[in-house]
Amino acid sequence: MKYSTEYEAKITKMLEESISKILKLQKNKMHKSHLDFMCMIIVALERSSSVQYSKIAEKLSGESLEASKMRRLQRFMSDVVFDYELAAYFLLSLFPKTGKITFCMDRTEWEFGQTTHNILTLVAYTHGVGIPIWFENVNENGGCCDVDDKMYMILACLGLVDKSRIKCLIADSEFIGDKWIDFLVKENIIFYLDVKSNQYFTFQGKKHQISEYMEGKSKSVLRDVQIFKKTLHLAVKRQKPCAEKKRKAFLAVVTNDKNSDNILQIYRNRWSIETTFQAFKKRGFNLEDTHLTDPVRFRKLFALVAMAFTLAFVVGLARNQQKPIKIKNHGYKANSFFRVGKDFLKQIMNPQSKQQHFKNDFEHLFLYLKNAFKRIDDIILKIVM
């Protein structure tokens, strides 16, 4: 196989070795040629700025003609059975093996012509972003997903992560309701859920509507309120209107965490999933460029983008360790870990770049990735047990 640079060859080989460890224990075996090509797609996504097949094929390594690469890519997307547990284990392996994990759940839409892709996604929060762990096509005709979809996703997550490692689940007002909250309580999962301002609750024997209760108040934290047929805790804050007029008048969050003193602050970690969607849609992969209408193929593409996103993010962490990202006057990083990682990968895989300039940087990155992928052994141990 001819690669664009020595660094691309090393990264592709590392991906193949790491993923093949998990594959050895999976029931649905992936042929080695399919595994090799999947890793090539992930690397090509790092080099490309679009998920259009023509753009990916253009960046695929090898001596074949671009038309041949295009046909191979089309066959992979249409014929190869993709193992989403494999993707989840790979993504989880890049997390620290100890410590609690905050999960965020949300649904996002992609539209192409009359086709709407609704993807229900569960991400694990770290360093200000959400790493996609599980994703499902739901309600293909648009609209909110039902409670069974949400419960299935949580049960799938529990098959991947010990419940003791789940710190909490965060979700917006689309993920609310008696049956859903009852399920989370029975599973002993701490949650922080956004609530609409017209929601009723009972506090100290009196029934209130959130917007009515907040008249003349800027912020309230209420313990032991009766809401959604449960005794929960409610925090509400009045919000300043924004120019786009998309912000709600109140941010109201309900939780079953009786020990939390920062309900609203914890809920704001939900923004991590929006940051991820932005990277998928526009600021990295332009997933909205896809012309795929088949939901199965779209989910497969989403999984490949998730793996490429996470690889770039981890590379960004390594680069920040070596050369800290500049902090601007407003207190935010000049670039995200993902952006820094993806840009660096594009540089070292560009045959026009002066490759000798990257030798020391790549050696540091290679060791960082090697240590990160070692955690796959811990994931494999969990599968065996």
3-state secondary structure of 90: helix
Tokens of 41: 């797609």
pTM of the model: 0.88
**pLDDT, tens digit (0-9, with 9 covering 90-100), for 234-269:** 999 998 876 555 668 889 999 999 888 899 999 988
**The pLDDT value given to residue 185:** 95
Q: Quick one: pLDDT at residue 53?
A: 92
Write the pLDDT tens digit of every residue in 75-112: 999 998 888 888 888 888 777 666 788 999 988 887 76
What per-residue confidence (pLDDT) applies to 186?
A: 94
Q: What is the 3-state secondary structure (H, E, C) of 272-329?
A: HHHHHHHHHHCCCCCHHHCCCCCHHHHHHHHHHHHHHHHHHHHHHHHHHHHCCCCECC
Per-residue pLDDT of the chain (385 residues; tens, 9 = 90+): 778 888 899 999 989 888 887 777 655 567 888 989 999 999 999 998 889 999 999 999 888 888 999 999 999 999 988 888 888 888 887 776 667 889 999 888 877 667 788 888 998 888 878 888 898 888 654 555 678 888 988 988 888 888 888 899 999 888 889 999 999 999 999 999 999 999 999 999 999 999 999 999 999 999 999 999 999 999 999 988 765 556 688 899 999 998 888 999 999 888 888 888 888 887 778 887 888 888 889 999 999 999 999 999 888 888 888 888 888 776 677 788 888 889 889 888 888 877 777 888 888 888 888 877 776 655 544 443 3
Alpha helical stretches, state H, the chain: 6-23, 32-47, 53-59, 66-79, 84-93, 147-158, 178-186, 210-213, 263-267, 271-281, 295-322, 337-348, 359-373, 376-384
Contact 202, 226 (CB under 8 A): yes
Taking the alpha carbons of 64, 70, 75, 81 in that order, is the dihedral positive or negative? Answer: positive
Cβ pair 210, 197 in contact under 8 A = yes
Angle formed at CA 74 by CA 314 and CA 78, multiple of 5 degrees: 90
Residue keyed to tokens 């999962």:
189
Distance CA 12, CA 37 (A): 10
Say what the pLDDT of residue 373 is: 75
User: Which residues, at least 6 apart from 195, have a Cβ–Cβ distance to it below 8 Å?
Assistant: 173, 176, 210, 227, 234, 252, 253, 254
Please list the helix, strand and coil fractions of the chain in percent, rounded to the nearest 5, in that order: 50, 20, 30
Distance in angstroms (rounded) separating the CA atoms of residues 325 and 151: 39
- Length of the chain measured in residues: 385
Output the pLDDT for position 350: 86
Q: Which residues contact 261 (CB under 8 A, 6 or more apart)?
A: none
